Amino acid sequence: MSNYDFDRVNILLVEDSQFMRSLLANSLKVLGVGNVFPVEHGGDAIHFLNRVKNEPMKVGVQQIDIVISNWDMHPIDGLMLLRWIRRHKDSPDRFVPFVMITSYTEPERIVQAREMGVTDILAKPFTINNIGEKLISIIERPRQFVHTKEFFGPDRRRQKFPPQVERRILTDKSEGVEVIRG
């Protein structure tokens, strides 16, 4: 079995607490992540992503591979950042995996993040293993993106059901379904 090499992975880390920011950046680096770009809140993150889009040479990164962001921040929180990334016309990559860090684990909160297109949730308090598991899940189990009138984001169904249990009405061949590959 081979080991993951995260050396070429670029992570944008959005966390307003200085202590947590350096702790997370440090943990990711020790896990071998080549480039961690730490910023202080959602507004800084949007500014940074704009720069990656417009002047990648200056920033020193062509593309962000994963966004890891705290939820509760001021003035722009994690949910607003996620909304911008998934829906705004200036977003450099609407499909980028987005991990939300939060101590809000009430079901309605989780649903709110999911409806906005979150990829995964990292609940506080967390361990290094939790961080590792999230990275592996993003790499090994990427989900297709679904775009409907009401929703844009990673498929909210993670499980594969056998045909007799599957409740999804539309298949790839149905009328009104378009599959885009890239």
Footprint of another protein (CB under 8 A): 1-6, 8-9, 16-20, 22-23, 26-27, 30-32, 65-66, 70, 72, 74, 95, 97, 103, 124-129, 131-132, 135-136, 138-140, 142, 144-149, 155, 170, 172, 175-182
Query: Which CB, 70 or 116, lies closer to another protein?
Result: 70
Of 45, 57, 43, 56, residue with least CA distance to 11: 45
Query: Which CB, 16 or 120, lies closer to another protein?
Result: 16
Compute the least distance from the CB of residue 48 to another protein, in Å. 20
Query: Which CB, 20 or 110, lies closer to another protein?
Result: 20
Those residues whose C-beta lies under 8 Å from the C-beta of residue 87, and which sit 6 or more positions away, are 94, 152
**Dist CA 181 CA 40 (whole Å):** 35
**Dist CA 110 CA 133 (whole Å):** 18
Query: Which CB, 108 or 172, lies closer to another protein?
Result: 172
DSSP structure class, residue 78: H
Compute the least distance from the CB of residue 30 to another protein, in Å. 4
**Dist CA 137 CA 114 (whole Å):** 16
Compute the least distance from the CB of residue 133 to another protein, in Å. 9
DSSP per position, 94-135: TT--EEEEES---HHHHHHHHHTT-SEEEESS--HHHHHHHH
Query: Which CB, 29 or 53, lies closer to another protein?
Result: 29
Compute the least distance from the CB of residue 83 to another protein, in Å. 18
Compute the least distance from the CB of residue 84 to another protein, in Å. 19
**Dist CA 13 CA 99 (whole Å):** 10
